[in-house]
A and B are shown apart, each in its own frame.
Chain A
Amino acid sequence: QSVLTQPPSLSAAPGQKVTISCSGSNSNIGRKYVSWYQQLPGTAPKLLIYDDNKRPSGIPDRFSGSKSGTSATLGITGLQTGDEADYYCGTWDNSLSAGVFGGGTKLTVL
């Protein structure tokens, strides 16, 4: 059972938009910045979004992040088949004094 809650799977057609939710609490998302990661099969996670809504250099603006209260959202527009991957949210939890991740969302582009 993950501290952060994500939908296990989502699917959408190429060119469409999808949003992935990440629900937490006041001890984590409510007080700390959220990061989002993309993990392609057999590879290490790659940072997509940090500090709730900032994109690292090289990440296209099709990827966006937002946060409201104790929930965060990753948005992906103009879906491409190459976006098929597992997506994770992560942050720090002040009460646990621990890093926490969501359980991951498997995105299928069909």
Chain B
Amino acid sequence: EVQLVESGGGLVQPGGSLRLSCAASGFTFSTYWMNWVRQAPGKGLEWVASINLDGGGKYYGESAKGRFTISRDNAQNSIYLQMNSLRAEDTAVFYCGRGSGAPDSWGQGTLVTVSS
């Protein structure tokens, strides 16, 4: 069974940083692209970033460019999202997803709240 478990969310002040993690199990991790997708309170899904099989290809949505960095560790079956210069509008549930762009499996999400 595919399992994706996000962690690292929490309350952070505007301008602060946070690192999200996603631990994967139940499939051959190194053979799948991986994604981060977020959902602001009461809003729709917003694709944040994708990373290819070996981590050499990284793709970002406009809101993430220059501030967020996606990475992966195939030995640890994990992906990460380093988020810097956080803004109030980054407040959202962040989901880890398997696949390129439109995930076929999702984690339960981790809540990031940016507030003073």
Contacts from A to B (Cβ < 8 Å): 2, 32-35, 37, 39, 44-47, 50, 56, 86, 88, 90-93, 97-104
Contact = CB atoms under 8 A, between A and B. Distances in A.
A101 B46 CA distance: 7
Interface in B34-48: 35, 37, 44-47
Contacts of A34: 102
A101 B47 contact: yes
Interface residues of B, number: 21
A99 B35 contact: yes
Interface of B: 35, 37, 44-47, 50, 59-61, 95, 100-109
Contact of A44 (B44, B102, B107): B107
B47 A44 contact: no
Contacts, number: 68
Contacts of A93: 101
Contacts of A104: 44-45
Contacts of B102: 33-35, 50, 90-92, 99, 101
B104 A98 contact: no
A67 to B, nearest CB: 13
Contact of A103 (B44, B60, B104, B106): B44
A100 B47 contact: yes
Contact of B106 (A46, A92, A99): A46
Given A47-B104, A90-B102, A92-B100, A99 B109 contact: no
Residue of A45, A50, A104 contacting most chain B CB atoms (<10 Å): A45
B43 to A, nearest CB: 9
B95 A45 contact: yes
A5 B54 CA distance: 33
Contact of B95 (A35, A44, A56, A86): A44
Given A2-B44, A45-B95, A98 B61 contact: yes
Contacts of B59: 97-99
A100 B101 contact: yes
